[in-house]
Amino acid sequence: MTTVYVPLDTSAVAAGADAAAAAFEAAGVDVVRNGSRGMAWAEPLVEMAAGGARSRGARGEAPPTEGTRLAYRNIAAADVPALIAQGEEHPKCLGKVAEIDYLRDQTRAVFDRAGQDAPLALAKTTVLHDCLGRDPQALIAEIEISGLRGRGGAGFPAHIKWRTVFDTPAEQKYVVCNADEGDSGTFADRLLMEGDPYRLIEGMTIAGLATGATKGYVYLRSEYPIAAGVFQAALDHAYRERLLGADILGSSRAFDLDLFIGAGAYICGEETSLLESLEGKRGEIRAKPPVPAVSGLFGQPTLVHNAISVAAVPAIMQRGGDWYASLGLGRSTGTMAFQLAGNIQRGGLVEVPFGITLDELVHGYGGGTRSGRPVRTVQIGGPLGAYLKPAEFGTKLTYEDMAGLGAGIGHGGIVVFDDSVDLARQARYAFAFCELESCGKCTPCRLGAVRGKETVDALLRARAEGRATEQNLTIIEDLCEVMETASLCQMGGMTPIPVTSAMERFPEDFQP
Amino acid sequence: MTELDNAREIASRNRERVGGVLRALREIVAAQGHVGREQEHVVADVFNLSRAEVRGIVSFYHDLKTTPRPPVEVRVCQAEACQAVGSRELTKRIENHLGLRLGEANDAVGLDAVYCLGLCAQGPSMMVNGRPVARADLPDLAEAIPR
């Protein structure tokens, strides 16, 4: 019996995967709901063994290995009868999964399993058993050798956090996973939790074993209901299989993991705000120091990591910190899950070693704009990220090279805009978003965002009426300086980045 | 069971959990569509908090609605990746079609902004009663909203 794989991922469901799956079932074909391969542009991306559904019934036939399945792009329910009848002759056939250039050229350490099978059918552990028998110091040393840095945006060396939590004495320590993926242009956390939740569960457990934390929480945003469902099912299953709980795999080591859903607040992606929220309070940020690794959840030592940082841990433990460190460039080691978004022809997740260029991502993988017009700018690193010019697209994507441009990689989101974009309007949006999402604790952010938005509005009026804008620009520059230097956290501190990067690189948009 | 009894039951069940207050408030909104003043008072009572503290939590989070919601909720993404593929224009078309501005509601439909649904490579995106829609346009509203 041939099986078809129809993703249950949000990006597939939003493009009609449920109807396609129902059509296959109605036609008598077995349907497996797998995770997404990350080729958002091709969703629903349906996979089927070569020979099509006609070959079913060949008893004793070995199941085709997942890489040799044929992939079909953008399959709607209406395509199903023809797809079943024509198999690889179907015009939407992309060939074998493993040979699709978009996937073939990636180096996946985190997303290697996503999409291969139903999320709960994927291997539940790779190295947990080994890690249970290893000394915590050895686990932390492995992370240090790997050079892993936080994937949430700051790029802070992971091992320093791990060692700090380990070294800080406390009755109770915690590991908290930040999956409050609010940056526009990013969807890696979602893809992981919908496609390979055990990767995250295993990474969290290993982090707990290494740091001495026996309780963990995954903080997921409420805008991701499908991720919540898949992850909760995986958690329940992991408890039944004794991968979590008081006696992990019979080792008498304990780690409990719980899912916590946010309530719609971008600021809760900031780690101290997230901890406040997880304690059930308003998500107002805390002043640092103390850092969470010393005093985090309920004042206890807490390892806070982005989901993708945690999910890199099993691969590092399995293949070695040396292997991970051999990928990437300089101090930007390992792979980064870039996400191509916005006005792009082939948007999706591209996990590759650091050092790739924006050109290779935007024009190579991405195929340029969806509209067919020239690329004018990309915003990299979410709403607090810089707008860059095409002339800068040859820069290698590493933490250091991006810092050299006054930009950051953030969580890896790359939003492409064509030449119809108005950068003054984008600057206004940066302030407006900060106004909407500021927690209100510090004045530069709370009031700066409002004044910034009002001043860009005044500038837009002046521009439309053909009047000079210099005065407005001076005020905006002043405001940005205050916000950048005096805000308590990165929300206020980095909102100036999209604004000033737009003003510096596209000054013509701010003139009459 | 009345809505207040239901709220008390939800709050009591979450009392000992980490982040219990927020869990309870979310659950009440999920069950009843919104969290009213009386429900806030019940939560304050169960968690031994002041009413002001609970009000403070409710007012902080976009999801914790304080007024009854219409049967259909439409949330249109307003963030950058969707802006790059015409979300501003789509929003205008939807506003004109429904006769509502973002943040407004009538008896049948509520129209809200959302900032990212994680469909950033397939924008503009929206969510209709919890169902995600990629490359959204007006016809996608048709099946959810009876005319």
Smallest CA–CA distance, residue A304 to chain B, in Å, is 16
Residue B111 confidence (pLDDT) = 96
Do the Cβ atoms of B62 and A263 come within 8 Å? yes
Q: A186, B114: Cβ pair inside 8 Å?
A: no
Give the span between the Cα atoms of A415 and B81, in whole angstroms. Answer: 6
Chain B residue with the nearest C-alpha to that of A217? B18
Give the distance, in angstroms, between the CA of residue A73 and the centroid of all CA atoms in the same chain: 23
Show the DSSP H helices in A113-256 as ranges: 128-132, 136-146, 158-167, 188-195, 197-211, 225-240
Helix H or strand E encompassing A315: helix A313-319
Scanning A111-130 for CB atoms below 8 A from B yields none
**In the prediction, which pLDDT does B147 show?**
57
- Residue A285 confidence (pLDDT): 96
Angle between helices B51-60 and B20-32 (to 10 degrees): 70
Chain B residue nearest residue A186, CA to CA: B118
Instruction: Name A135's Cβ contacts closer than 8 Å, sequence gap at least 6.
Output: none
Stretch A148-164: mean pLDDT, rounded? 94
pLDDT tens digits along A218-230: 999 999 999 999 9
Model pLDDT, residue B1: 79
The residue of A223, A370, A388 whose CB has the most chain B CBs within 10 angstroms, and thus the best one to mutate to test that interface, is A223
Q: How far is A284 from chain B (nearest CA, A)?
A: 9
CA distances from A386 to A330, A348, A449, A503 (A): 22, 20, 17, 11
A188-195 vs A225-240: helix axis angle to the nearest 10? 40
Q: What is the DSSP string of A93-104?
A: EEEEGGG-HHHH
Q: How confident is the model at residue B146, as a pLDDT? A: 65
Name the residue among B64, B85, B131 with its Cβ closest to that of A342. B85
SS3 A365: helix
Pairwise CA distance, residues A316 & A323, whole Å: 8
The arithmetic mean of pLDDT across residues B57-82, rounded, is 96
Kindly report the average pLDDT of chain A as a whole number.
Answer: 95
pLDDT reading at A53 higher than 90: no
- Chain B 39-78, residues with CB within 8 Å of chain A CB atoms: 56-57, 60-64
Amino acid at A104: R
For chain B, the average pLDDT equals 95
Q: What is the ipTM of this complex?
A: 0.97
Whether B132 contacts B144, CB under 8 Å: no
State the pLDDT at residue A57: 40
- Percent of chain B predicted with pLDDT > 90: 94
Confidence class for position A59, pLDDT limits 50, 70, 90: very low
Lowest mean pLDDT among A50-59, A373-382, B60-69: A50-59
Residue of A nearest to B135 (CA): A15
- Give me the mean pLDDT over the B46-68 stretch: 97
Min CA distance, B77 vs chain A (Å)? 10
Q: Which residues, including other chains, have CB under 8 Å from residue B52's CB and lie 6 or more apart? A: none
Give the pLDDT of residue A1.
54
Contact criterion met (CB below 8 Å) for A283 and A265: yes
pLDDT above 90 as % of chain A:
94
> Distance between CA atoms of A451 and A444, rounded to whole angstroms?
10
- Confidence check: pLDDT of A512 > 70: yes
Say if residue A245's pLDDT is above 60: yes
Banded model confidence at residue A52, pLDDT cuts 50, 70, 90 = low
Which residue among B64, B81, B131 places its CB closest to the CB of A342? B81
Rounded to a whole number, what is the distance in angstroms from the first to the last CA of chain A? 67
Q: Which helix (H) or strand (E) holds A260?
A: strand A256-261
Best of B17, B22, B49, B127 to disrupt the A interface (most A CBs within 10 Å) is B22
Q: What integer pLDDT is reported at residue A416 of this predicted model?
A: 98
Q: Is the pLDDT of residue B47 over 80?
A: yes
How far is the C-alpha of A112 from the C-alpha of A465, rounded, in Å? 54
Residues of A in contact with B139 (CB under 8 A): none
pLDDT at A217 (0 to 100): 98
Helix axes B37-47, B51-60, angle to 10 degrees: 120
Q: Which of A11, A371, A437 shows the shortest C-beta gap to B122?
A: A11
Which residues 235-264 of chain A have a CB within 8 Å of chain B?
Answer: 258, 260-264
pLDDT value of residue A54: 45
Residue A417 with chain B: CB contacts under 8 Å: 84
Q: What single letter denotes the amino acid at residue B19?
A: G
Q: Which residue of B has its CA nearest to A43?
A: B122
| A497 and B CB contact within 8 Å | no
Residue A386's pLDDT is: 98
Interface test with B, best of A184, A189, A421 (most B CBs within 10 A): A184
Across the range A298-318, mean pLDDT stands at 98
pLDDT (0 to 100) of residue A469? 97
* A272 interfacial to chain B (CB closer than 8 Å): no
Q: Which of B25, B97, B100 is nearest to B66 (CA)?
A: B25
Closest to A111 measured CA to CA, from A233, A198, A209: A198
Measured between alpha carbons, how far is A176 from A61 in angstroms, rounded to an integer? 45
d(CA A158, CA A156) in angstroms, rounded, equals: 6
Task: Dump pLDDT digits (tens) for A319-344.
Answer: 999 999 999 999 999 999 999 999 99
Query: What value does the mean pLDDT take over residues A65-72?
Result: 86
A226, A260, A343 ranked by CB distance to B19: nearest: A260
User: Looking at chain A, which residue has its C-alpha nearest residue B57?
Assistant: A282
Surface-to-core class of residue A74, CB atoms within 10 Å of its CB (0-12 exposed, 13-18 middle, 19+ buried): middle
Whose structure tokens read 């995967």? A17
Do the strands A174-179 and A302-306 form a parallel or antiparallel pair, or are they unpaired?
A: parallel
Q: Residue A347 pLDDT more than 60? A: yes
**What strands lie across the sheet with B72-77, from one edge to the other?**
B109-114, B72-77, B126-128, B131-133
With H, G, I as helix, E, B as strand and everything else as coil, classify residue B44.
helix
Residue in chain B closest to A38 (alpha carbons) equals: B121
User: What is the rounded CA–CA span in Å between residue A265 and residue A187?
Assistant: 17
